[in-house]
Structure 1
């Protein structure tokens, strides 16, 4: 793999799930890292992951999900408090109390895939994070997904039609399986230049440093 040049942007594949609060934090930190490396030409692509593949297509109530995973709502509160504090530092307004459902995100990932062709992946990912973590919307609901797509300039009627079909469902599910296959066990995971993996919601300066080192061939 050659270093990035003006003719070949540095590819950053972000393996992420839109119900993962650390992924939202990671996105904002990536945004800030890219601001710090403004002279670096990059191409960011969002790749699907399911934080919990056991969630059924219709989703589950948030209360049942949290109690099943953590034992009680009280047990998860310290993590929510920590994330809320970290989020404020990155301009994220987490409102975990507004979330009523834990959805399957396969359909959300299908919409993110379709947005790539329109050059709007970053916008739809940001909109879906906001919808879920700040507005408490059910991003497993096709209507919510279509409205989110409309708000960032995609064709809502086309998105609705595609969601009602199985278009790209198998492809998205295969991409998710591939993430597991290559060893991604937690997200966000930033795969840079196709071969360097940066795991977790790294702080922006550290992420910016990694990008520059990889782009200039300074890695060990």
Structure 2
């Protein structure tokens, strides 16, 4: 009895960082009951963001309405309340969200490529943590190839190799094809957790609820094959 979790998420999604931490807590709650493997799958919340990224404030103003701080709207108020709630949730999970200093809204396609390569070296969790921290805490542009290479090097990857791969289209089609497959499945929000390719749950649920989901998957939706790519 085992569970394979495919976590579909984006690297500029604060709920995804929260969800990853909570999933890890859920796995700890499972303990030795059964093995759980996690594979991180790509998703872009907004694939229309240009590859070079765009100014964060400009992007958020267009998305949530209002061009200036003095202009109020119900949508902007909801967004502000959500950010405050995320910061509170983050505190409880040891996540240092610092939204106010973000300068660039990046395109995350290259960051997903980097994560794909890190997973091939069993560095997936460390890479996601590093990317989330770089964006939400250090306010780095995780769409910039040099920044991505530096992040990779910080967790033990070969920086020169990463620069070479990022400067080409290595695995670009694979990542885009993979993301498209999840959109075709009907996934429109992240994080989404798919267990044993049979059952899914969406949202940054509490660790206890995710542990229950893992146990249900293990008991009612058994893993049919250990061969996943």
Q: Please give the range of the TM-score, normalised by the shorter of the 2 chains.
A: over 0.9
State the alpha-carbon separation in 2 of the partners of residues 31 and 129 from structure 1: 15
Aligned partner of 1:59 among 53, 72, 78: 53
- Alignment of 1:25 with 2:28, yes or no, is no
Tell me the secondary structure at the aligned position of residue 25 of structure 1. helix
State the alpha-carbon separation in 1 of the partners of residues 117 and 22 from structure 2: 24
> What is the number of residues matched between the two proteins?
212
- Alignment of 1:175 with 2:178, yes or no, is yes
Q: Please report how far the alpha carbon of residue 77 of structure 1 lies from its aligned counterpart in structure 2 after TM superposition.
A: 1.9
State the alpha-carbon separation in 2 of the partners of residues 38 and 65 from structure 1: 42
Aligned positions of 1:1-220 closer than 5 A: 4=1, 9-39=2-32, 40-72=34-66, 75=76, 76-217=79-220
Q: Please report how far the alpha carbon of residue 176 of structure 1 lies from its aligned counterpart in structure 2 after TM superposition.
A: 1.1
Unaligned runs of 5+ in 2: 70-75, 223-229
Q: Please report how far the alpha carbon of residue 217 of structure 1 lies from its aligned counterpart in structure 2 after TM superposition.
A: 2.6
- RMSD of aligned alpha carbons: 1.4
Q: 64-73 vs 116-125, which deviates more?
A: 64-73
TM-score (normalizing by structure 2): 0.89
State the alpha-carbon separation in 1 of the partners of residues 51 and 199 from structure 2: 33
Unaligned runs of 5+ in 1: none
State the alpha-carbon separation in 1 of the partners of residues 220 and 184 from structure 2: 27
Tell me the secondary structure at the aligned position of residue 216 of structure 1. helix
State the alpha-carbon separation in 2 of the partners of residues 18 and 218 from structure 1: 29
Q: 65-74 vs 143-152, which deviates more?
A: 65-74
State the alpha-carbon separation in 2 of the partners of residues 196 and 154 from structure 1: 34
Superposition misfits of 4+ residues, deviation over 2 angstroms: 216-219
Q: Please report how far the alpha carbon of residue 218 of structure 1 lies from its aligned counterpart in structure 2 after TM superposition.
A: 7.8
Q: 197-206 vs 68-77, which deviates more?
A: 68-77
| Deviation per residue, 1:15-50 (Å, 9 max, x gap) | 000000110110110011111111121110000000
Tell me the secondary structure at the aligned position of residue 58 of structure 1. coil
State the alpha-carbon separation in 2 of the partners of residues 158 and 196 from structure 1: 37
Q: 152-161 vs 102-111, which deviates more?
A: 152-161
Q: Please report how far the alpha carbon of residue 143 of structure 1 lies from its aligned counterpart in structure 2 after TM superposition.
A: 1.0
